[in-house]
Chains A and B, each alone.
Chain A
Amino acid sequence: MSTSKEIKFSNEALELVAKMISRYPEGKQKSALLPVLHLAQAEFDGWLSPEVMDYVAELLSIQPIEVYEVASFYSMFNLKPVGKCLLEVCRTSSCWLRGANEIVEHIEKKLGIKEGETTPDGMFTLKTVECLGSCGTAPMMMCGAQFHENLTFQKVDSILDQLKSEGKRKTYLDDVTVNHY
């Protein structure tokens, strides 16, 4: 899947990039790489294509390889297309103790996909992840920036139904506005 639209941030996003860069000393604009990659992922369909990464390199005046090596290091950056809603289910110790495996199996059954797969309509991608710091409210999953905690099968069902009826792409930056910066 390749994105047909031109790779360029909206004016609002560019304003945000400028603010991100201004947080670091002169000449240290590379420090803004992680926040800018999050922004890029939110702007360009939830994943980072090589073209998007090249664009980010250009924005920050760094080499493309400096972007690739970072994007491939951190778990939150998707280097392949994902569904509109990326369901990230925690499965480490505390969540496992409180039934995370069963939650994963329930989602697999309900959506008809296996972990790592995307539904044919492009709505959901299921991913299992390591500890998200929600151990006291286990089991949990994250979608976009939102933590869904104390999951039960019933709760999962209603979350999935809700997300599907909204039909919107969820990103980590859902509530981020320029004003916050």
Chain B
Amino acid sequence: MGKKLLLANDHIPGIQSYQVYRQHGGYASVEKALKTMKPEEVLEEVKKSGLRGRGGAGFPTGMKWSFLAKPEGVPRYLVCNADESEPGTFKDRYLMSRIPHILVEGMITSSYALGAHTSYIYIRGEYYYVAQILEKAISEAYANGWLGKNIQGSGYDLDLYVQVGGGAYICGEETALLESLEGKRGNPRIKPPFPAIAGLYGCPTVVNNVETISAVVPIVNGGGDAYAAIGVGKSTGTKLISASGHINKPGVYEIEMGITVEDFIYSDEYCGGIINGKKLKAVVAGGSSVPVLPADLIITTAAGEKRLMTYESLADGGFATGTMLGSGGFIVMDEDTSIVENLHTFARFYHHESCGQCSPCREGTGWMEKIIHKILDGHGTLEDVDLLWEIQKKIEGNTICPLGDAAAWPVASAIRHFRAEFEEYVKNSSQIKKIRHYDLINH
């Protein structure tokens, strides 16, 4: 059994409540930080831990925190990104609904480190019921002196609020999230300036994912070095993986970074193998945006080494033969899965979720969806596959935010590794079962 830091107490009945959470060591990181550490010392532990952003980008958290501008007399904000919307990802929902206080605790300790006195948790609107769980946890934290004025007699003040979104994937992009938190459309901002300089209401702001902020709790409790001792190389600590698709045991697993992908898929401790004993065909390892890999390349790298569940190992080989850990949204497909049809669900998703600000993304995502639909519907040509490749290339790198890249990579990787399957649809168009004609007008 691997070490668990976030879900260690997940099995304890009533852990959702303040009393039980507190009985099991809850809020110790706040006590330790506020009573025995300076804010800079908390930051130092986070740097030492090697913690990297768990939302998908994997940027070192300590470094992100150290970029925060600290002009006199200007408020600073910590905003938690709980807009979890990357297809295949549901770890944050799991963590927040099972152990809401770990996020509240992490928000307090992190806000203290950053010198923020007002912090927000921005949660996607569809998680309304989870927002209610958080509201309850926050009111319990206020009632017990962990929030508000002069927390536990330390002299530190903090207010923490939940804000619900309205259903828009783009708001997971940090500047779009800030726009949304200001009551606007979720259009990403042009950077620079980065939020660390001008974020919420133009003030210095740090935006971190739910899992990232929660990880600050064990880091402060046990020390950054102990956290960094888990894992391999620059992939330190534990990671929540959302496992779904054709596996026997879908769910959220906290893994120590560095277990093999093969073990994760087949061992009974995790996914428990493929449903009905089928063969593995492909995996999307880090949420819909990352390149899909065929079975052989996900189990071993092109160089023939066992692939590990780490940022580096999953990326080994670049996009030619590798992928990314991303958000840890691990989607498994069995031998009977149509890669093209699965891709259609992704293409439709990105078309629906493009904010419309940049032409390559607004227009390109629509064309990609339509062309894949055409191929699936039996009207495709070999030129269409080339056109699809051209379109994704023209989106990648040409947009304000990474949604364009996220829309391009699944298309590029599907063609790169499964081109024959596209061609099969083109050549055997008469045998293709008609796919559902979703109402395109609704997009």
Contact = CB atoms under 8 A, between A and B. Distances in A.
A115 to B, nearest CB: 7
Contact of A116 (B165, B181, B439): B439
B389 interface: no
Given A73-B186, A92-B346, A93-B342, A131 B85 contact: yes
Contacts of A9: none
A45 to B, nearest CB: 18
A125 to B, nearest CB: 12
B246 interface: yes
A78 to B, nearest CB: 11
Contacts of B136: 180
B346 A34 contact: no
A35 B165 CA distance: 8
A93 B284 contact: yes
A120 interface: no
Nearest to A37: B166
A96 interface: yes
Nearest to A96: B345
Interface string B321-342: 0000000010101000100011
Given A116-B439, A131-B349, A32 B342 contact: no
Interface stretch (B119-127, B258-266, B297-305): B119-127
B439 to A, nearest CB: 6
Interface in A27-84: 28, 30-35, 37-38, 60, 62, 66, 69-70, 73-77
Residue from the set B182, B244, B331, B337 with the largest chain A CB neighbour count within 10 Å: B244
A38 B164 contact: yes
B167 interface: yes
Nearest to B253: A136
B114 interface: no
Interface residues of B, number: 64
A114 to B, nearest CB: 8
Contact of A28 (B182, B244, B245, B352): B182
Interface in A141-181: 142, 145-147, 172-173, 175-176, 180-181
Q: How large is the interface on A (under 10, 10 to 19, 20 to 34, 35 or more residues)?
A: 35 or more
A38 B251 contact: no
A116 to B, nearest CB: 6
A97 B93 contact: no
Contact of B168 (A30, A73, A128): A73
A73 B166 contact: yes
A31 B135 CA distance: 18
Interface in A71-115: 73-77, 91-94, 96-98, 101, 104-105, 115
Given A35-B164, A135-B89, A145 B128 contact: yes
Contacts of B288: 92-93, 131
Nearest to B343: A93
A32 B182 CA distance: 8
A34 B178 CA distance: 13
B129 A34 contact: no
A25 B128 contact: no
A74 B201 contact: no
B173 to A, nearest CB: 14
Contact of B439 (A31, A37, A115): A115
Given A133-B89, A175-B129, A31 B181 contact: yes
A116 B442 contact: yes
A103 B75 CA distance: 49
A64 to B, nearest CB: 14
A38 B166 contact: yes
A96 B342 contact: yes
Given A92-B346, A93-B288, A135-B329, A142 B166 contact: no
B242 interface: yes
A7 interface: no
Contacts of A74: 125, 165-168, 186
Contacts of A128: 438
Contacts of A115: 438-439
Interface in B63-120: 75, 84-90, 92-93, 118
14 contacts: A34-B165, A74-B125, A76-B167, A93-B284, A93-B346, A94-B244, A129-B167, A131-B87, A131-B169, A135-B89, A136-B244, A136-B251, A145-B128, A180-B136
Interface of B: 75, 84-90, 92-93, 118, 124-129, 132, 135-136, 139, 161, 163-169, 180-186, 201, 242-246, 250-252, 284, 288, 329, 331, 333, 337, 341-342, 345-346, 348-349, 352-353, 355, 436, 438-439, 442
Given A75-B168, A130-B352, 6 more contacts: A34-B125, A74-B186, A93-B331, A94-B331, A131-B86, A135-B245
Which 10 residue pairs of A and B lie closest in terms of their CB atoms, listed nearest first? A74-B166, A33-B183, A75-B167, A76-B167, A135-B244, A30-B183, A136-B250, A94-B244, A131-B87, A73-B185
